[in-house]
Amino acid sequence: MSATLTHPVDQVPMPENQGESYLTKGKGVMSWLLTKDHKRIGLLYLMSITAMSLLGGFFAALIRLELITPGGDLLSAESYNKAFTMHGVIMVFFVLIPATPAVLGNFMLPIMIGARDLALPRINLLSWYIFIIGACFTLYSMISGGVDTGWTFYTPYSSTYANSAVITAALGAFISGFSSILTGLNFIVTVHKMRAPGLTWFRLPLFVWGNYATALVQILGTPVVAMTILLVAMERLFGFSFFNPNTGGDPILFQHMFWFYSHPAVYLMILPAMGVISELVTCFSRKRVFGYSFIALSSVAIAVFGFLVWGHHLFVSGQSVYGGMVFSVLTFIVAIPSAIKVFNWTATLYKGSISYEAPMLYAFGFFGLFLIGGLTGLFCANVAVDVHIHDTYFIVAHFHYIMVGGAIMGYLGGLHFWWPKITGRMYPETAGRISAILVFLGFNLTFFPQFLAGYLGMPRRYHAYPEEFQFWNIMSSAGATVLALGYTLPMIYFTWSLFAGKKAPANPWGAKGLEWTIPSPPPLENFETIPIVTEEAYAYAPEEDEGDEVKHHV
Amino acid sequence: MAKDLQLFPDSASIGAAGVDANYLYILGVSVFFAVGISLAILYFALRYRRKSQDEIPKPIHGSLVLELTWTIIPFLLAMSMFVGGTVVFFRNYHAPANAMEVFIVGKQWMWKIQHPNGVREINEMHVPLNRPVKLIMTTEDVIHSYFIPAFRLKRDVVPGQYTTMWFQANKVGKYHLFCAEYCGTQHSGMIGWVHVMEEADYEAWLSGSIRGETMQQAGERLFNRLGCATCHKADNTGRGPTLVDVFGKAVKLQNGTTTLADEAYIRESVLKPASKIVSGYAVEMPTFQGQISEEGLLQVISYIKSLSKSAPAGGAAASEAPAGKKGGN
């Protein structure tokens, strides 16, 4: 193991007698479509999520093109509304929520805890099929006329007034929710039951903690949004009255139910990304993480408190002032565990040995964007300020900083970090660094001006807008071009690396963690013998006074 | 375009300053932390960059003192933000008793504004300078949101409910009015202007725009036309309870509870008469759902208000505002 540390990159010799790689064992399309291997399922998710993100990105491009000029000249109002709805539905339900857990979590989580697979491999495959069926429904709604309710499906617009394919789009989200529930369930069972001997809870890599907290939110929150969507569909199809005030329903009830899931959904996106960041920061500063248990438990705290803050979406909806007050204070409290994480990551860098490979640049980018996203959350938690910025571009900027800036920085950072492990190939380092920098710059140029436009009063979901906001919108659209380039580059060089990338050693970064003790790409069964864990996570340096380094497996 | 590039929105109401103060306070704290943490990260990243391939830094497990420090200080700062925001929110929420009322009805995709003297406007709202104005708002169809950035105010209009907000404009001018809650195809066309006028100009505008009857008169006419007057007789000899001196008072119900006779109660009683029966009366009244528009309802409410001589100008709203002139300075 110490050899790993001293010669991180050219430590080529791979264990010879390990099993055949999961990529080569089993050939043909059916061997992929019927696989129960968590690694292959992770790759199935990777491909489907990438495809969905291209589609969501296409709609984002339409939006930014339309908003270059104040008049509604490129798209009709109707098409514009459909474009931002599809952008939201696809990105939230089919990209951001599944990205890190379903791709990286699926692939890495069992390996990181020394298991041969997830606890329920068939359920894992089933969850991917459910995801695909959900995606098909949503895509069908797009082809069959589109849907124009916004991804929030607010009633009574969605239930009574909207004249578009609400049901199919909502059912898409409904169905994909079950995929999310099953993945969460699978992760929880796996973490509880399949940890390698010696791998106690507080020896778990923080990425596992992040995914565990995520899984809790998935199984507790997702059923609520599923019910909500079902109620909307019943009202629309069969004339039940849940949300229509003319027949005794309550339109605000929908908002409570919707946000009870959809606010925690933001934590679904960011928690696993935070887990990735903990891995990156420790690896590229070669140092155990500062305040391990504070980072681990703050994930759980975020997951728990995340369920108690939904009402801050209803500050101007006619919720009582005292309701507003309570949700405001709880929202301020949920900011604290995130702050604790940032401070601990920063402290981890102190006296570290820091190198700047692409994954670490993504982590640095994450810090910048998550800081801005998190701090602007304070504005939204303050009721007086939120009354003004609610439903303006300030909110649009804020949640993109968290859900995209934070979550996708983490996801891409993790994808670069584990790409050699997943594929057995190195990606081109310079291109990786360029893309990290482009994404960071492009993101800020796209979304920072939206804070300003938002506080000036520009409402969101506007197809046309007053001229005084144009300057900020031009900046945004220009930034989106850079951002698109930054996001496209990895798709190109990752694909290229599959064919022409340098062969990856077992542990290219000199990282700690069980996944780096097995060959790249891993053999089908991950571990020939199940490892026995005898040390803390991130034990880069020998414990003081011990001198000898403890090995991962015996 | 760049010539009049704004960084900060116009401010035209006494409530706006409190919101801006909160905004600037949070901005200050945020910039401090963002810059501080970024500089620390940048400094560490450069100072402790990897110098040789085999260096292994000494591990640091953590520090309880530091953990407590960066838990407690952010917590206290967050609580100060909470208090600051809540104080301003409460102040901006409770209308003073002497506020003049303006009635707003949203519909896809326009704002209909009625003044008590009968003046009606669409997508334009004229208000006087330095006088508290209370908006009583609802919608004919979906949820909209009445948003005036220069006043830092917005409130959703919800079908089946009356929501209110109030402001006191302190700067003459023309300010944006937006619909902030997505409401369908022409959402971004559901915009207009708020005109803040000097008192004298406002009076002149008001008298120049009067067409026909006041809201109260229109309400009385509807009250008679729909046949309300046949049962709700002034001398309390009709089949329904009298409506004289009812508004703003507590009403005893058949089930033993009492309810406040406010705008929402009257609206509910017109549309769903069976839901709250006044003690001593039977369920005889038919529903008027579909026979009266949201604007008509507001007119009838306005008429019923006028039957209560003791009710203050602010109507039932008086009960919301414990101290009359607390408004936002």
Whether B109 and chain A come into contact, CB under 8 Å, resolves to no
pLDDT of A551 above 70: no
The nearest CA of chain B is from the CA of A522 a distance in Å of: 26
A chain contacts of residue B5, beta-carbon cutoff 8 Å: 471
Residues 6+ apart with CB under 8 A from B322: B94
Residue B318 to residue A511: CA distance in whole angstroms: 68
Report the C-alpha gap between B166 and B324 in whole angstroms.
13
d(CA A549, CA A545): 11
Question: Phi and psi of B201, rounded to 5°?
Answer: -60, -40
Which one has a higher pLDDT value, B321 or B273?
B273
Average pLDDT, chain A: 90
First CA to last CA distance, chain A: 12
Domains detected in chain A = 25-517 (1.20.210.10)
> Which pLDDT belongs to residue B302?
87
Does B160 sit within 8 Å of A378, measured CB to CB? Answer: no
Task: List Cβ neighbours of A157 (8 Å cut-off, separation of 6 or more).
Answer: A149, B142, B143, B182, B183, B184
Is A146 in contact with A86 (CB distance < 8 Å)?
Answer: yes
Q: Model confidence at A298, in pLDDT bands (50, 70, 90)?
A: very high
Candidates A150, A456, A463; nearest CB to B6: A456
- Helix, strand, or coil here: A459? strand
Residue of A nearest to B183 (CA): A157
List of chain B residues whose C-beta atoms are within 8 Å of the C-beta of residue A336: 71, 74-75, 78
Q: What 8-state DSSP symbol labels residue A203?
A: G
A residues 224..283 contacting B (CB < 8 A): 245-246, 250-252
**Would the pLDDT of A358 be above 50?**
yes
- Sheet harboring B124-128: ordered strands across? B124-128, B192-197, B173-179, B144-148, B153-157
- Residue A5: pLDDT band (50, 70, 90) is very low
Handedness of CA B193, B198, B202, B205 (dihedral sign): negative
Residues B8-18: tens digit of each pLDDT: 999 999 999 99
Q: Are A278 and A345 in contact (CB under 8 A)?
A: yes
* Residue in chain A lying closest to B45 (CA): A354
How much of chain A, in percent, has pLDDT values that exceed 90?
78
Which residues, other chains included, contact A271 with Cβ-Cβ below 8 Å and sequence gap of 6+? Answer: A210, A211, A213, A214, A217, A299, A302, A303
Burial class (CB in 10 A: 0-12, 13-18, 19+), B257: exposed
Whether A285 and B187 lie within 8 Å, measured CB to CB:
no
Q: Is the pLDDT of residue A16 over 60?
A: no
Share above pLDDT 90 across residues of chain B, in percent, rounded to a whole number: 50
CATH number attached to the domain at B100-209: 2.60.40.420
Contacts of A321 in chain B (CB under 8 A): 89-90, 93
pLDDT confidence bin for B318, thresholds 50/70/90: very low
The Cα-based distances of B96 to B36, B172, B203, B315, B319 in angstroms read 43, 21, 21, 11, 10
pLDDT confidence of residue A4: 39
Pairing of strands B100-107, B132-139: parallel
Question: What local confidence, expressed as pLDDT, does residue B210 receive?
Answer: 63
Q: How confident is the model at residue A333 (pLDDT cuts 50, 70, 90)?
A: very high
Residues 46 to 65 of B: which have CB under 8 A from any A CB?
48-51, 53-63
- Within 8 A by CB and 6+ apart from A5, the residues are A286, A510, A540, B54, B56
Contacts of B29 in chain A (CB under 8 A): 378
With beta carbons less than 8 A apart as the criterion, state whether A132 and A48 touch.
yes
The CA distance from B145 to the nearest CA of chain A, in Å, is 8
B173-179 and B163-168 strand pairing: unpaired
Decide if B62 and A291 are in contact by the 8 Å CB cutoff: yes
CA A30 to chain centre: 29
pLDDT per residue as tens digits for the range A461-471: 999 999 999 99
| CATH 1.10.760.10 residue window(s) in chain B | 215-317
Residue pointed to by tokens 């709250």: B276
Pairwise CB contact (< 8 Å): B56 & A245: no
Average pLDDT over residues A159-181: 90
Report how far residue A534's alpha carbon sits from residue A552's, in angstroms, rounded to the nearest whole number: 6
Identify the three-state secondary structure at position A392. Answer: strand
Nearest-neighbour CA in chain B from A212: distance (Å) = 23
H-type helices in A70-165, by residue range? 77-91, 97-98, 106-112, 121-143
Residue of B nearest to A459 (CA): B180
Query: Under an 8 A CB cutoff, do B70 and A339 touch?
Result: yes
pLDDT value of position B245: 84
| Measured distance CA(B127)–CA(B171) in Å, rounded | 11
CB atoms A246 and B183 under 8 Å: no
B-contacting residues in A 462-501 (Cβ below 8 Å): 462-468, 470-471
Name the pLDDT band for A543 (thresholds 50, 70, 90): low
Q: Tell me whether the omega of the peptide bond preceding residue A508 falls within 30 degrees of 0, making it cis.
A: no
The residue-averaged pLDDT of A121-144 equals 94
**Min Cα–Cα distance to chain B from A95, Å:** 24
- B34:A325 CB<8 A: no
Q: Match 């805890």 to its residue by tokens.
A: A113
Whether chain A has a CB inside 8 Å of the CB on B290: the answer is no
CA pair distance B178, B152, nearest whole angstrom? 12
Token digits for B17? 């300053």
* Closest residue on chain B to A457 (Cα): B149
Tell me if residue A354 falls in helix, strand or coil. Answer: strand
Q: Output the six-digit token pair for B31.
A: 């910039």
User: How many Å lie between the alpha carbon of B254 and the closest alpha carbon of chain A?
Assistant: 21
Average pLDDT over residues B266-284: 84
Q: Which residue of B has its CA nearest to A2?
A: B54
Tokens of B245: 């001196």
What value does the mean pLDDT take over residues B2-9?
A: 74
- Whether residue B109 is preceded by a cis peptide bond, meaning omega within 30 degrees of 0, is yes
* Cα of A67 to nearest chain B Cα, Å: 12
Mutate to test the interface with A, among B20, B60, B68, B108 (most CBs of A within 10 A): B60
CB-nearest to B59 from A246, A356, A540 is A540
Q: What is the 3-state secondary structure (H, E, C) of A221-265?
A: HHHHHHHHHHHHHHHHHHCCCCCCHHHCCCHHHHHHHHHHHHHHH
**Which value does ipTM take for this structure?**
0.88
Is the model's pLDDT at B187 over the cut of 90?
A: yes
Nearest CA in chain B to A153: B182
Q: Is A371 on the interface with B (CB under 8 A)?
A: yes
Q: B5 CA to chain A: closest CA distance, Å?
A: 7
pLDDT at site B1:
42
Ranges for all domains in chain B classified under CATH 2.60.40.420: 100-209
Which residue among B2, B54, B182 sits closest to A471, beta carbon to beta carbon? Answer: B2
- Please check whether residue A356 touches B, CB under 8 A: yes
Q: How far apart are CA B227 and CA B221, in angstroms?
A: 10
User: Are A471 and B5 within 8 A, CB to CB?
Assistant: yes
Contact A332 B59 (CB under 8 A): no
pLDDT in tens, A373-429: 999 999 999 999 999 999 999 999 999 999 999 999 999 999 999 999 999 999 999
Q: In terms of DSSP bridges, do strands B132-139 and B163-168 run parallel, antiparallel, or are they unpaired?
A: antiparallel
Q: Is the pLDDT of residue B211 over 80?
A: no
B contact residues 166-225, partner A, Cβ 8 Å cutoff? 176, 178-189, 191
Nearest to residue B20, comparing CAs of B10, B34, B30?
Answer: B10
Of B68, B63, B73, residue with least CA distance to A292? B63
Across the interface, which of B57, B191, B289 has its CB nearest the CB of A351? B57
| Residue B93 confidence class, pLDDT cut points 50, 70, 90 | confident
Residue to test with chain B: of A383, A450, A475, A543, most B Cβ within 10 A = A383
N residues, chain B: 329
Q: Considering only residues 446 to 465 of chain A, which have any Cβ-Cβ distance to chain B shorter than 8 Å?
A: 452, 455-457, 459-465
What's chain B look like in SS3? Answer: CCCCCCCCCCCCECCHHHHHHHHHHHHHHHHHHHHHHHHHHHHHHHHCECCCCCCCCCCCCCCHHHHHHHHHHHHHHHHHHHHHHHHHHHHHHCCCCCCEEEEEEEECCEEEEECCCCCEEECEEEEECCCEEEEEEEECCCCEEEEEHHHCEEEEECCCCCEEEEEEECCCEEEEEEECCCCCCCHHHCCEEEEEECHHHHHHHHHHHCCCCCHHHHHHHHHHHCCHHHHCCCCCCCCCCCCCCCCCCEEEECCCCEEECCHHHHHHHHHCHHHCCECCCCCCCCCCCCCCCHHHHHHHHHHHHHCCCCCCCCHHHHHHCCCCCCCCC
Q: Which residue has the tokens 């933001």?
A: A266
Give A124's Cβ-side CA count (13 Å radius): 30
pLDDT band at A523 (very low <50, low <70, confident <90, very high): very high
pLDDT digits (tens, 9 = 90+) for B61-87: 888 999 999 999 999 999 999 999 999
**pLDDT tens-digit readout, A233-271:** 899 888 888 998 888 889 999 999 999 999 999 999 999
Q: Which residues pair with B133 in a beta bridge?
A: B100, B167
Judged by a CB distance cut-off of 8 A, whether residue A47 touches chain B is no
Across the interface, whether the CB atoms of A343 and B44 are under 8 A apart is answered: no
Selected residues 102-131 of chain A with any CB under 8 Å from a CB in chain B? none
Q: By the CB < 8 Å criterion, does B3 face chain A?
A: no
Q: Is the pLDDT of residue A534 over 50?
A: yes
Tell me: pLDDT of B321 over 70.
Answer: no
Chain A / chain B CB contacts < 8 angstroms: 294
Q: Which of B78, B88, B185 sits opposite A378 (nearest CB)?
A: B78
Average pLDDT (A12-41) is 79
Reported as a single tens digit per residue, the pLDDT across B123-158 is 999 999 999 999 999 999 999 999 999 999 999 999
Quote the pLDDT of residue A335.
92
Q: Is the previous residue joined to A466 through a cis bond, with omega within 30 degrees of 0? A: no
CATH class entry, domain B215-317? mainly alpha
B 247-266 residues with CB < 8 A to A: none
Name chain B contacts of A353, Cβ cutoff 8 Å: 48-51, 55-57
B147 touching A, CB under 8 A?
Answer: yes
Strand-strand pairing, B110-114 and B132-139: unpaired
Give mean pLDDT, residues A53-71.
95
Would you state the pLDDT for residue A369?
A: 96
